[in-house]
Amino acid sequence: MTTIEYPFPPKELNPNKQLHWAVKARHKKIYREVCKILTFGTKLPNDKLIDMHITFCPPDRRHRDDDNMVAAFKSGRDGIADALGVNDKMFRIHPSLSDTIGNKVVVTFVVRE
């Protein structure tokens, strides 16, 4: 079991946010790289299913939809997959929303045996 903290996805990645496609693409690329860098050095098998327990700790107490947070974190998941050298189809997502303000996303990886 491995746990890594990532920054909360920027507001520009919220699927409800209307932005020019190029602006959104730039934010996706940056967030993907940040998550990739934070994951480097983590070793997990690439041939087994990996449970990702994702805890979203938002930056404030505003209401957020859990499905939008998962969608906003998609480029982060892609960066994690890049760093681990696995196909992201091996991830099984278990999202949860924390009541704690933290401006971060805490991901715990559990390899299925």
Q: Where are the domains of the chain?
A: 2-111
Q: What is the mean pLDDT of residues 68-92?
A: 93
pLDDT at residue 54, rounded to an integer: 96
Question: What is the assigned CATH class of domain 2-111?
Answer: alpha beta
When pLDDT is averaged across residues 15-32 and rounded to a whole number, the result is 93
Average pLDDT of the chain, as a whole number? 92
pLDDT band at 69 (very low <50, low <70, confident <90, very high): very high
Residue with tokens 């947070």: 69
Mean pLDDT to the nearest integer, 38-55: 90
The per-residue pLDDT for 50 is 92
Helical pair 21-39 and 74-84, crossing angle rounded to 10 deg: 40
Query: How far is residue 1's CA from residue 109's CA, in Å, rounded to a whole number?
Result: 6
Instruction: Look at residue 79 and tell me whether its pLDDT is greater than 90.
Output: yes
